Amino acid sequence: MTRSQKPAFRTEDRIEVKSKLGAEFRRFSLLRAAPGSVEELWALLRALHCLRDGTTLRLQYAAPGGELLPITNCHNYARALATTSSTCTAVGNPFRLFLLTDDMADTHANSTPDGRKRTGRPRPVVGPPIDFHPLASVIDADVLPASLLRVRLYREGTSRPLGFYIVEGSGMGHDCGVFISRLLPSGLAACSGLLAVGDEVVEVNGVTVSGRSLDQVTAMMVANGHNLVMTVRPAMAPLRPTPRRASMQPQRPTNRDGGSAWHSVSTSFPTQVWPNSWRATRTQASQPTVTEISSPSDDDDDQDEVRDFVLHNEQSSNQNGRSSKPTIKTNGMSHKGNFISGLVKREGNSITLYI
């Protein structure tokens, strides 16, 4: 256990082990020929880390790929030793064990040492929420000029309306062009914090809106409503000098890192030009709700749903004379690759394929 003991053993037939609980760690070694069972290892670890009997911990080891894998029974313990013994021969590259308390590793529910499922009241969840979903994201920030912002609004999975109004001409000197005129308070656009009243819409899903009427632009947005990508010219953006980077942060000037930009805007324009709602939106924008960069999945945005009803036994239904209630089975399995890749929903006696 101490450094003085170490020369007494030959390194060839021992495995160097480093066990870590929180910030403190212990180093020890195991006989390569007889490492012992999991229970023996636990007893050793309790003794080394001075653990009380009642504490439940999980044991994980660092696999050669760098991932953490649990050790719960003899089987995976043996596997852990087998995979690491080849790499842990050199000094200074120990077999690394990690002792984790429950709240450190909530996701590995099955990693209690004896394999029992934990029961009892659920603990409060800390970490990313289960119902996490993206609302909006900034994309192509490194491609676009600094004055433009490409925003993607995700509507799938939410019942939230898109929730904004567009108008032709901003009333602030720009007569042509399509502008955002109003945001619904609970709408997706307002919640994303990426769009604001007065932003000029430049493109909708890659199609430029110039030369199109307001109704056409509306129809384009509605038709792309489930996956709307809008390129806007923010009413505030042109004064931001630094190039944008694709990040989790919205590209609005925030309190933290965009304070100077905010300041320069408010000094160069009289404050009363901006309506109150605009300010409210900007404040909201400084604390982005949920934004995420996600890779655009192209062309899968509108696949139609086909329900297939195929008669199971035609002859028998003919003999019965009643044809209105045939037995139904799906033949969806015969669909080709990309069509079966979707979800299969079972409702009643019919099967719906989302393709």
Partner 1 sequence: MIRFLRRTGGENQRDKALKDKFEFNKTVQHGFPHQPSALAYDQVLQIMAIGTKNGSITIYGAPGVEFSARYKEVVSIMQLHFLPGQGRIVALLDNSLISLWEVLDKGGQSELSHKQDFTIPCQPGALPSVTRPTALCVSAAGDKLYIGSEAGSVHVLQLSSSQFDDVLSQEGALQSLPEEYRVGKALGAVEAIREDPRASTSILVGYTRGLLLLWDLNRRSLQRCLPGTQQLESVHWSPSGQQVTCSYSDGSYQVWSLDDSEEQRVPSLLYGPYPCKAITKIQRFITSGCTFVVFSGGMPRASFGDRHCVTVMHEHEHVAFDFTSRVVDFFTVSGAKPGTVLDEPKVLVVLVEEELVAIDLMAPGWPSLTPPYLASLHSSAITCSHHVSAIPSKLWERIVACGVQQKEKHSSAEWPINGGVMKSQKRTSRDLLLTGHEDGSVRFWDASGVALQPLYKLSTASVFVTEADQPEPIQETDEGHWPPFRKVGCFDPYSDDPRLGIQKISLCKFSGQLALAGSAGQVLLMELNDESTEHEINTYTMDLLEENETFRWKGHDRLIIRSGPVPLPAGYQPQLVVQAMPPASLTALALQAEWHLLAFGTSHGFGLFDCHQRKSVLTKCTLHPNDALALEGPLSRVKSLKKSLRQSFRRMRKSRTTARKRPDPTTKVREANARLAEQDLPGEVELAPVQRRVEARSPDDSFTGMVKCLYFADTFLRDGSHHGPSLWAGTNAGVVYAYSLEIPTPEHRNEQPIHARFGKEIQLMHRAPVLALAVLDGKSSPLPEPLEVLHDLAKSPDLHGHHSLLIVSEEQFKIFMLPKVNSKHKFKLTATEGSRIRKASLVWLGTPPSGNSAGTSGIVTGNDEAVETCLVCLTNQGDVHGYSLPSLRLQARFSCMRKEDVTGISSCVFTHAGQGFYLISPSQFERFSVSAASVTELLCSLQPREPEAIHPLPIPEYSPTVNQVKPEDAVGTKKRGRVMENALLTDSRVLEEIQETLNASPPIKVDIDMNQNH
What is the Cα gyration radius of the chain?
31
* Footprint on residues 156-185 left by partner 1 (CB under 8 A): 161-169, 171, 181-182
Measured CA to CA, the distance from residue 27 to residue 34 in angstroms comes to 18
Q: Does 224 bind partner 1 (CB under 8 A)?
A: yes
Here's the x/- map for partner 1, 329-348, by CB under 8 A: it reads as: -----xxx--x---------
β-sheet bridge partners, residue 343: none
Choice from 71, 97, 217, 236 touching partner 1 (CB under 8 A): 217
CB nearer partner 1, residue 76 or residue 181: 181
Measured CA to CA, the distance from residue 64 to residue 265 in angstroms comes to 53
- In whole angstroms, the minimum distance from the beta carbon of 125 to partner 1 comes to 31
Q: Does 198 bind partner 1 (CB under 8 A)?
A: no
- In whole angstroms, the minimum distance from the beta carbon of 204 to partner 1 comes to 8
Name the segment binding partner 1 (CB under 8 A); options: 34-42, 43-51, 222-230, 264-272: 222-230
Q: Other C-beta atoms within 10 Å of 133: how many?
A: 11
Residue recorded with tokens 């043996």: 78
- In whole angstroms, the minimum distance from the beta carbon of 167 to partner 1 comes to 5
Choice from 75, 133, 174, 226 touching partner 1 (CB under 8 A): 226
Here's the x/- map for partner 1, 274-303, by CB under 8 A: it reads as: ---------------------------xxx
The strand pair at 14-21 and 58-62 is best described as unpaired
CB nearer partner 1, residue 25 or residue 165: 165
State both tokens at 103. 């709240």
- In whole angstroms, the minimum distance from the beta carbon of 338 to partner 1 comes to 9
By CB atoms closer than 10 A (0-12, 13-18, 19+), residue 126 is exposed
Q: Other C-beta atoms within 10 Å of 248: how many?
A: 11
Measured CA to CA, the distance from residue 100 to residue 25 in angstroms comes to 12
- In whole angstroms, the minimum distance from the beta carbon of 151 to partner 1 comes to 13
Choice from 306, 313, 327, 345 touching partner 1 (CB under 8 A): 306
215, 169 contact by CB (below 8 A) = no
Strands (E), 32-163: 58-62, 68-70, 95-100, 136-139, 149-154
Name the segment binding partner 1 (CB under 8 A); options: 15-23, 46-54, 107-115, 309-317: 309-317
Choice from 307, 327, 341, 345 touching partner 1 (CB under 8 A): 307
Choice from 76, 311, 329, 342 touching partner 1 (CB under 8 A): 311
The amino acid occupying position 327 is T
* C-alpha distances in Å from residue 164, one per residue of 130, 189, 201: 28, 6, 12
CB nearer partner 1, residue 45 or residue 188: 188
Q: Other C-beta atoms within 10 Å of 353: how many?
A: 20
202, 178 contact by CB (below 8 A) = no
Residues of the shown chain interacting with partner 1 in the complex, contacts defined by CB under 8 A: 155, 161-169, 171, 181-182, 205, 207, 212-226, 228, 301-311, 323, 326, 334-336, 339, 355
